[in-house]
Chain A
Amino acid sequence: MLNRTLTPEFKAIDHINLLTPGYTKFNNDCKLYWFNSGEQELVRIEWIFNNLRFDIEKPLLNVAVNTMLNDGTNSLSASQIADAVDYYGAFLQVDYGFDHSQVTLYCLNKHLQNTLPVIKDILVNSVFPEKELHTFIRNQQQKLQVSLQKNDFIARRAFNRSVFGNTMYGLSAEANDYDTIKRDDLLLHYQQMYQPNNCTILVAGKADDDIIKLITQSFGKDWNNNGKADISQPEAVANAEEFHLIEKPDALQSAIRIGIPTINRMHPDFPALQVVNTILGGYFGSRLMANIREEKGYTYGIGSAMASMKYAGALFIATEVGADVTRATMQEIEKELHILKTELISHEELGLVKNYMLGALLGSLENVFSHADKFKNVYFSDLDYEYYDRYTQVVRTITDKEILDIANKYLDFNKFHKVIVGKY
C-alpha cells in the first residue's frame, strides 16, 4: 500500500556545469564571446555597449539614441530596416539599461548573412532623422502619461530617485524632458558610445565556425574607433529625505516600495546577502509571502530583491496592497525584518532555502541563452566563473548564526527609503 504522507527520496544539488565561451578580440578592439550549443539552427547575438557618463542636463540622451537606432541610416529608412529584418523572420530589439545598452538579434542561421549587414549599418551609419525624432518624442510623452497613472510605476521612480539621486539609476524623466532632446546631441552621443572599443558581442546558439566567421567578417573590419568613450559615472548620492508619501485619494490599492542602498555583486558578502534576501522575500515560500499574502491575504504578491549595478546596489521590498491595509503591511514588514535580525533561523527553513536556491540556479540554465546570461552577470561585474563556485559554496555552507550577522550588518529598517503611492 502506497504511503502518500511520506516524501519521496531526493538529492540536493551539489554543483552546476556552466558552458565556457569561446573568445576573440578583433583588430578594432571589439570583443567577441560565443557559446556553441543547442540543437536548433539559430542564434541570439547581442551587441552590448557601456553607457556614456550620465549628464543631468540631458537625461534622456542614452534612452533616445538606443531606442532610435533602428530609425534610419544614411542608406536605409526606418521602414526599410524593419522590412529587411522582418522579411527574414528575424527579431531585432534595442534595449537600454542602467549600465549598458544593446542591440539584440534573434535569427535562424540560414538567414544570418542577410540580416547582419542591417545591424552593421545601424551601428555604423545611423542618422536619427528629425522626422523620426518628433515621432519618438510625441509617442514617448503619450506613453509616459499612461505610465504615470500606475502606482507601481510611480513608486519605482520615486524609490530610485531617493536611493540613487542624480544618476542614470535615479532617473525619473518628466514629459518636458523629452522636448530637450536635440538631433545634434544624439549624433554626438551615438558616435562616442557605439564604437567597437566600447562593444562586446555575445553569441549564443548553434554558433559554429561558419557563423563566427560571418560575424567576424562583418564587425572585425570597416568599423573604426574615433577616440575613447567616457564611461565613468557620477557617484550615487542618496536623498536625505527617506519617507515619501504620494497620495492618491481614489486608490483601491497602495504601491509600497521600500529598501536600502547596499553592496553589489563585486562584494564578498553578496552571496550571503542573497540568501538573506531569499529567506525574507525572494521566493514563493518566503516570510513576506507567507505572512502578508498567505496568512493575511493583504496582497496578490509581495517580494524582495537585490539590484546589482556597476556602481551601486540596492535591496528592496515591493508590493501592492489593499489601500486599507497599507499601514498594517508596513508594520508586518518591519516585524519580519526584526525577526530576521533577532531570531536564529530553524534548520528546517534554512535547509529548504538552500536546496531551493541551488535548484533554482540549476533551473535557470534552461538553454544556451541562459548560459550566456549567467556569463553576463559576472563579466560585467569584472568577475569570473569562480563567482558561481563561491556562490554555491556559500549557499551550501552558510549557518544560522551567519544569517543573523548578515541581516544585522545590512538591514537597518530605520535607514530604509520608504515610498508609498496611494493611501496611508
Chain B
Amino acid sequence: MVKFNRFTLDNGLRVIVHEDKTTPMAVLNILYDVGARDENPEQTGFAHLFEHLMFGGSVNIPNYDEPLQRVGGENNAFTSNDITNYYITLPAVNIETAFWLESDRMLSLAFSEKSLEVQRNVVMEEFKQRYLNQPYGDVWLHLRPLVYKNHPYRWATIGKELSHIENARIEDVKAFFKKHYNPQNAIMVVGGDIDTERVKQLANKWFGSISAGEKYNRDLPQEPLQQQARRQIITAKVPLNSIYIAFQMPGRSDDSYYITDLISDLLSRGNSSRLYKNLLKENHIFSEIHAYMTGSFDTGVFVLDGKPLPGVTMEDAEAAIWEQLTILKNEMVPVDELTKVKNKTESTMVFSETSLLDKAMNLAYFELLGDADLINQEAGHYLNVTAQQIKQQAQALFTKENSSTLIYLAEPC
C-alpha cells in the first residue's frame, strides 16, 4: 500500500506527496504529458532531443547540474512514446534546491544555440550507439512502421532518421516548450523524508507564480484494427537469424491489459515459462526466446522474438511459436500455472515498494492515467483474471490477420 496526499496549484500543476521516513533522502519527480507520439512526422525524435535541452540551462540558472551536485543530488530523465519524465534524488534536507531548479526550467529555458548544437551531436551519437552500431539495434526502427500505419507510434522515440535531429532549429525548440512544458501538462511527485505541509509551501513558493500556459489538446490519428497479415524480410550483418512476430493489442487503460500482461508472463517469465521450457529446453529450436509488450497508452504491441538454433529453418521456428499460441487459444490454463503468474506479479509489486524512486515514478504515471491510487489497485486487477479470460484474449490477439512478422536474416559472410 503506497500512501499519498494530493493537491493542485491554481495554475493547474498537480502535486502528489508520498511521505517515507525510512530514508534520509527525497525524490522530486516531474512527469510532462508529452512523448514521441506528439511529434510532427517531419520532426521525429524531437521530444527526446528536447529532454536533453532541458539540461542546457534555464532562464535564471545557467547550469542545471552543477548546483544540484553541489547539494549532493543526482538526476536523470527518460522519454518514451507517451511521456517525458525527469527525476532528482537528493538528501531530504536539501529538497528546496530541487524545487528551485525544476521550477525555473518550467518557467523558461535559456534556449542556448550552443546547447542545441552540442545536444544534436550527442543525440546523433546516441542514435548510432543504441540503434545503428549494435547487432539487431535497428529492429524497432523496422518493426514500428510494420505494426503502425497511421498512429505516430510508427516512429521510435529516438526518431525516424538522423536528419530529423540534424535539422532541429531553435525556433522549433521554443515552440515545443510553449506547447508542452507548462504547469497544466505536468505532474509533480515529491517523496521521501518530507512533510506534506512543507511541500505545499515550497510548491506555492517556487511553482505558484508560473503561468498556467495553454492546454494542449491531444488529437492523434488512431491505429485502425489490422485486417491482414504483414511480413517483412531484412538482411543485415548479424551473426544469427532472428524472428519477430508482433500483434496489435489494446492500450494501457483497457481492461484487457492485465489479461494480456499475464499471457506474456505465462509465455516468457522465468525458467518455468512455456516458451523457455518447450522451445529452448525440451525441444531445441531456439537459443533465445522471449515474449513482451509495450504497454503503450494507445494501441500497443505484443511481441514474440527468438533466435533459432543452427539447422532450424525459419519456417519451423515460426511454426513452433504459433503452436504455442494455438495452445493458449484452445486450452484452458491450468489452475496452478495461473496461480504461479499471479504470485509472481504480487511479489514484484511488493518488491517495487522498497524503492522510493520507483514509487514516485509510478505515482506520477498512474496519476496521468487518471488516478494515482491505481497504484494500489493493480494487484486486485491481476488477481481477478480468469483462465477463461486468458483463452478469450489469446483468441482475440493471436490471429494471422493481426500479426506482423519480421524476419531478420544474417548476411552470409
Question: Can you name the residue of chain A whose Cβ is closest to the Cβ of B271?
Answer: A82
Q: Which of A163-171, A352-360, A379-387 contacts B (4 or more CB under 8 A)?
A: A352-360
Residues of A within 8 A of B136 (CB): 146
Q: Encode contact with A along B66-82: 1 for CB under 8 Å, 0 otherwise.
A: 11011111100000000
Whether the Cβ atoms of A9 and B122 lie closer than 8 Å is: no
Q: Which of A22-30, A84-92, A182-190, A216-224 contacts B (4 or more CB under 8 A)?
A: A84-92
Whether the Cβ atoms of A362 and B24 lie closer than 8 Å is: yes
Question: Can you name the residue of chain A whose Cβ is closest to the Cβ of B95?
Answer: A8
In the docked arrangement, what's the CA distance between A369 and B351, Å? 11
Known: A86-B270, A142-B307. Contact between A150 and B134, CB under 8 A?
A: yes
Residue among A5, A37, A351 with most chain B CB within 10 A? A5
Residues of A within 8 A of B347 (CB): 42, 89-91, 106-108
Question: Can you name the residue of chain A whose Cβ is closest to the Cβ of B130?
Answer: A300
Residues of B within 8 A of A321 (CB): 125
Q: Which of B139-147, B174-182, B338-346, B392-400 contacts A (4 or more CB under 8 A)?
A: B338-346
Whether the Cβ atoms of B70 and A351 lie closer than 8 Å is: yes
A176 interfacial contact with B, CB 8 Å:
no
In the docked arrangement, what's the CA distance between A40 and B348, Å? 12
Partner of A253, one of B117, B129, B339: B129
Whether the Cβ atoms of A320 and B133 lie closer than 8 Å is: yes
Residues of B within 8 A of A295 (CB): 118
Whether the Cβ atoms of B72 and A12 lie closer than 8 Å is: yes
Whether the Cβ atoms of B22 and A38 lie closer than 8 Å is: yes
In the docked arrangement, what's the CA distance between A149 and B90, Å? 39
Q: Encode contact with B along A307-351: 1 for CB under 8 Å, 0 otherwise.
A: 000000000000011100000000000000000000000000001
Whether the Cβ atoms of B209 and A139 lie closer than 8 Å is: no
Question: B residues 47-89 with Cβ under 8 Å of A?
Answer: 59-61, 65-67, 69-74, 89
Q: Which of B232-240, B247-255, B319-327 contacts A (4 or more CB under 8 A)?
A: B232-240
Whether the Cβ atoms of A363 and B72 lie closer than 8 Å is: yes
B126 interfacial contact with A, CB 8 Å:
yes
A245 interfacial contact with B, CB 8 Å:
no
A113 interfacial contact with B, CB 8 Å:
no
Partner of B238, one of A87, A146, A353: A146
A residues contacting the other copy or chain, number (CB 8 A): 79
Partner of A10, one of B61, B94, B107, B122: B94
Residues of B within 8 A of A82 (CB): 270-272, 276-277
Q: Which of B7-15, B34-42, B279-287, B362-370 contacts A (4 or more CB under 8 A)?
A: B279-287
In the docked arrangement, what's the CA distance between A59 and B287, Å? 22
In the docked arrangement, what's the CA distance between A294 and B69, Å? 16
Partner of A87, one of B66, B122, B339: B339
Measured between C-beta atoms, what is the minimum distance from A121 to chain B in Å?
A: 15
Question: A residues 264-307 with Cβ under 8 Å of B?
Answer: 283-285, 293-300
Question: Can you name the residue of chain B whose Cβ is closest to the Cβ of A152?
Answer: B129
B378 interfacial contact with A, CB 8 Å:
no
Residues of A within 8 A of B280 (CB): 135, 139
Whether the Cβ atoms of A297 and B121 lie closer than 8 Å is: yes
In the docked arrangement, what's the CA distance between A151 and B135, Å? 10
Whether the Cβ atoms of A297 and B239 lie closer than 8 Å is: no
Measured between C-beta atoms, what is the minimum distance from A90 to chain B in Å?
A: 7
Contacts from B to A (Cβ < 8 Å):
22-25, 59-61, 65-67, 69-74, 89-91, 93-94, 96-97, 99-100, 103-104, 107, 117-123, 125-126, 128-130, 132-136, 205-206, 209, 237-240, 269-273, 276-277, 280-282, 284, 287-288, 307, 309, 336, 339-340, 343-348, 350-351, 353-357
Contacts from A to B (Cβ < 8 Å):
2, 4-5, 7-13, 17, 37-42, 70, 78-79, 81-83, 85-91, 106-108, 111, 132, 135, 138-139, 142-143, 145-146, 148-151, 250-253, 283-285, 293-300, 320-322, 351-353, 355-356, 358-360, 362-363, 365-369
Contacts A7-B67, A359-B90 supplied; 18 other A-B pairs, CB < 8 Å: A2-B209, A4-B100, A4-B103, A4-B104, A7-B70, A10-B97, A78-B281, A86-B272, A87-B336, A87-B340, A135-B284, A146-B136, A150-B134, A284-B69, A355-B70, A355-B71, A355-B72, A359-B72
8 contacts between A and B (CB under 8 A): A10-B71, A11-B93, A142-B307, A146-B136, A298-B125, A299-B129, A355-B70, A363-B73
Which 8 A/B pairs are nearest by Cβ-Cβ distance? A359-B72, A297-B121, A89-B343, A82-B271, A82-B272, A89-B347, A142-B287, A145-B239
